[in-house]
Structure 1
Amino acid sequence: MTPSQFEKENEPRWQRLQQLLREVESNPKTAGVEEIPQLFRQACHDLSVAQHRMYGPRLVGRLNALAITGYRTLERRISGGWERLAQMIFKEFPQAVRGERGLFWFCMVMFWGPFLFLAAWTPFDPEWAMSILGPDGMIQMEMMYGKGTSPHDYMREEFGSNFGMFAFYIWNNVGIDLRTFAGGLLGGVGSIIIMLFNGAHLGAAVGYVHHACNPETFYAFVAGHSAPELMGVVISGMAGMRLGLSLVKPGPYDRKTALVLGGRRALILIAGAALMTAFAAVIEGFWSANPFPPFVRYAVGMLLWVVTLGYLFLSGRERPHAP
């Protein structure tokens, strides 16, 4: 194949890539932007062929310039993806939580209300633990936090390694968040029921620890991961309630449109809640499962509560402009 034949055969692709690269400079969401990676790979292949066949400096130089421009564009889009993720985590998610102030406090009551009630009442009436945890749950609490037992030994025996624990917590805890969110499709009722149950279950577990186990062992184990995990539960409830309210109170929209609009607001909440829960799973699997001194665990736990609440209430706030 002669250089002119090679150029004539591939010219439409090169022109298309040049056009898309120009358009994406002014509008990153331009139509056809998804074609760029494939066209870029083909242009790189064409450059390699032209160099190998020695098609001349003009054609090689043109393809080389096209490949460099394509590479820089793709590099910016990749780095922009990380910037987009950082913006979601540190700005959009905490702003979304604060933007749903009413739902936040409602879900706090739905979760923490039964939690605090049963944590305080179960030590005096352990029948609550029997009703909510069941015999198997009570035995598990005693094996993990009973006098003379260690949650670290129990976890190692149960899961084999820190990574095994981490994988279980990711699967279990993020799954709870997603079920709480999905419960919102029942007009929010499903999310409320799951939040009430989760609060009651955890509260009964805490109360039973005070009745039959060693509270210091329990609190030392859960201190580190409690803040992101428990607040993740609350925020996943917020996401489900936002979804449910879009169906129950669509406002000026039909229910389908209201669900789409509410779903966009809910999506960032459940994504942030899942990230918080995943972060808690990292701590639970690789920090909580190790035998650090209790005072170190409590200090880290208190620090993470301050950081978590500060993040939710302060992160992403716009700074006032100087007059």
Structure 2
Amino acid sequence: MTPAQFEKQIEPRWQRLEELLKDVERDKPREDVTELPATFRQVCHDLSVAQHRMSPQRITQHLNALALRGYRVLERRTAGGWESFVRLLLVEFPQAVRAEWRLFWWCTALFYGPAVLLAVITPYHPEWAMSLLGPEGMLQIEDMYGEDSKPGDYVRKNFGSGFAAFCFYIWNNVDIDFKTFAGGILGGVGSLFVLLFNALSLGAVFGYVHYSGNPLTLYTWVIAHGAPELTGLVISAMAGLRVGLSVLRPGRLERKAALVLAGRKALPLLIGAAVMTSLAAVLEGFWSPLDLPPLIKFTAGGVCWVLVAAFLIFSGREQRAA
């Protein structure tokens, strides 16, 4: 086959690839854009054949340029970048939570059950909460949620500004999430321990405030940022337990392969939980310290809880159906 015959035979593929690339590069892909990967592979094969046959430089250069354009487009669309990160948060993360719905509700019950139980018991038996909080913890709670205390004053006194408080909270929240997840490698025991410890600590705080503080101050402080923060903690425990279960019950896979597969499933959960608790740190640093009427605080808090629930229930459903 002469170079002219070779070019005439495969020229329609070159033109087809150019059309598809132009559409994608203009962010106006058509329905037939699914042909792009297969057409790209065919043109790469044509380039290899042209180089092997030492075809004219004009042909090889044109094919090489098309191959480079195709690679850049496919690499940009399938790996890395903000698009991939946004898709992970808005699509893969809520889908992963819904796929593990049994584990989600189990972790939710394991967290809120002990927390509510201790919060109810503490006003009648405060020594339980006192033993968990310690003298410094009780003084801090009284300083922040006392009868005449304002959390905003506490933030300004201890952090100096909302931004400094935000930096502290984001470090603390994300650190807890990663510790909860990392504990899963120990067969899930570490994740359970961190989850239960935080549940008991939360219950002790609420119970002690009901015993010696002002509950309204506490509820108006936590109602908004508690939605993403506590939900993120539960989801990070889910991620850790998913890894832990793969260690305990690898099934037909080797334990190493099961651990790798569980890590891939848990990654969207961990990243999503970290983003949720980071958002909670923004609210805790800038919104929660504001001295606003309780009605506004509770309304904003209710909206936060509804948004978190709606996001986890509905986000990503259309993409999966497609």
Fold-level match, TM-score > 0.5?
Answer: yes
Map 1:190-205 → 2, pairs under 5 A: 190-205=190-205
- CA separation in 1, counterparts of 2:155 and 2:320? 49
Q: Amino acid of the residue matched to residue 138 of structure 1?
A: M
- Conservation of the 8 A alpha-carbon contact between 1:129 and 1:138: no
Residues in 1 aligned to 2:275 and 2:321: alpha-carbon distance in whole angstroms: 32
- Report the equivalent of 2:109: 109
Q: Does structure 2 conserve the Cα–Cα contact (< 8 Å) formed by 1:181 and 1:270?
A: yes
Classify the secondary structure of the residue corresponding to 1:133.
helix
Aligned to 1:219: 219
Please give the secondary structure, in 2, of the residue aligned with 1:197.
helix
Decide whether aligned partners of structure 1 residues 291 and 81 sit closer, same or farther in structure 2, where only a CA change above 3 A counts: same
| Alpha-carbon shift at residue 318 of structure 1 (Å) | 3.4
- Distance, in Å, in 2 between the alignment partners of 1:307 and 1:128 is 35
For 1:320 and 1:198, locate their aligned partners in 2 and report how far apart those are by CA, in whole Å.
34
Identity of matched residues, % = 53
Per-residue CA deviations over 1:236-278 (Å, capped at 9, x if unaligned) read 0000000100100001111110000000011111100000000
Corresponding position of 1:154: 154
Distance (Å, rounded) in 1 between the aligned partners of 2:82 and 2:176:
27
Paired with 2:176 and 2:96, the residues of 1 have a C-alpha distance of: 21
Residues 321 and 113 of structure 1: is their aligned pair in 2 closer, same or farther, counting only changes over 3 Å?
closer
In structure 1, the gaps of 5 or more residues are: 1-21, 31-61
Q: Distance in 2 between matches of 1:224 and 1:318?
A: 28
- Aligned equivalents of 2:91, 2:197: Cα separation in 1: 31
The aligned amino acid for 2:157 is E
Displacement, 1:128? 1.2
CA apart distance, 1:226: 0.7
CA distance in 1: counterparts of 2:276 and 2:160, whole angstroms: 25
SS of the residue corresponding to residue 148 of structure 2 reads coil
**Residue identity opposite 2:122 in structure 1:** T
Q: CA deviation at 1:113?
A: 1.1
Quote the residue 1:77 is aligned against: 76
Measured against aligned partners, the alpha-carbon deviations of 1:204-250 in whole angstroms (never above 9, x if no partner) come to 10011100001111111111101000000100000000010010000
Q: Equivalent residue for 2:53?
A: none
| Separation in structure 2 between the aligned mates of residue 130 and residue 297 of structure 1, nearest angstrom | 29
Deviation of residue 319 (structure 1)? Answer: 7.6
Contact 1:174 1:274 survives alignment (8 Å): yes
TM-score (norm 2): 0.76
Q: How many residues are paired up? A: 263
Quote how far apart the aligned CAs of 1:131 are.
Answer: 1.2
**2-structure distance, mates of 1:27, 1:181:** 37
Query: What are the ranges of 5 or more consecutive residues in structure 2 without an aligned counterpart?
Result: 1-20, 26-35, 41-60
Secondary structure of 1:271's aligned partner:
helix
CA separation of 1:242/1:123 partners in 2, compared to 1, >3 Å: closer, same or farther? Answer: same
List per-residue Cα deviations over 1:63-89 (Å, max 9, x = no partner): xxx8xx97x958x93998222222111
Query: What is the distance in 2 between the residues matched to 1:77 and 1:290?
Result: 43
Q: CA–CA distance in 1 between the matches of 2:198 and 2:80?
A: 38
Give the counterpart letter for 1:132 in structure 2.
L
- The runs of 4+ residues in structure 1 deviating greater than 6 Å are 319-322
Determine helix, strand or coil for the equivalent of 1:224. coil
